[in-house]
Copies of this chain bind each other. A is one copy, B any other.
Amino acid sequence: MPVSELSSTAQDYLKLIWSATEWADKPITVGVMAERIGVKPSTVSDGIKRLAAQGLVTHAPYGSIELTEAGREHAVAMVRRHRLLETFLVEILGYGWDEVHDEAEVLEHAVSDLMVDRIDRLLKHPSRDPHGDPIPPAVGTPAATVGFQLDQAKPGSQVTVTRISDEDPDMLRYFTELGLAPESRLTVRERRPYADVTTVRIHGQDSDIALGTTAAAAIWVVA
């Protein structure tokens, strides 16, 4: 069954379930899914039941939600579409990295496999999207997660930003102002546990930047 025979709703559910375990390994819950998608939990509960009936997830009432192999394949295909489209929108149509997520969220359900291939070719097979997230290859295993969140970084260490969560466009605009993006090199200055603030210096800049926990957790780095 090709990805395109699933409803947009089903495609979004699968993508979300897969994404939940990409960076953190806690299994996703009905409540979180409802929150993210913007519907009521009862709607998700129902949707999950339909996915289970189609053999795309396993789920017993009140139990955990797991992708089947078929579900995982569809999910990865959707993530690939989403990230390729984001990259395309930035590279070819001149979008800002804060503008692409919502557009891709809709387009991902409408483009054909042919179009995905053409975009991939036009972009010369990019490996990362504008937020630094790896673009799963058309065939083969998606790149594994590397790095950790900036709020976990040790004071004094030097790190490189690998990805920034594309969840919140406002936050992305703020990072743009700061000059903070994937590939940025940072020195972690201090962490005040109870103040929930991480202070960093972007290499080449002459002052420190203070980031709250939410912002620091949106930034992934490697040593």
Q: Tell yes or no: A32 within 8 A of B by CB.
A: no
Q: Tell yes or no: A114 within 8 A of B by CB.
A: yes
**By the criterion CB–CB under 8 Å, are B106 and A118 in contact?**
no
Q: Tell yes or no: A92 within 8 A of B by CB.
A: yes
Taken together, the copies of this chain in the complex come to 2
Q: Tell yes or no: A103 within 8 A of B by CB.
A: yes
Complex: A103 Cα to B4 Cα, angstroms: 13
Encoded as 1 (CB less than 8 Å from any B CB) or 0, chain A from 68 to 109 comes to: 000000000000000000000100111100010001001101
Selected from B92, B106, B118, the residue in CB contact (under 8 A) with A94 is B118
**By the criterion CB–CB under 8 Å, are A119 and B93 in contact?**
yes
Q: Tell yes or no: A39 within 8 A of B by CB.
A: no
| Given A93-B119, A103-B114, 6 further pairs, Cβ under 8 A | A94-B118, A103-B115, A106-B110, A106-B112, A107-B107, A110-B110
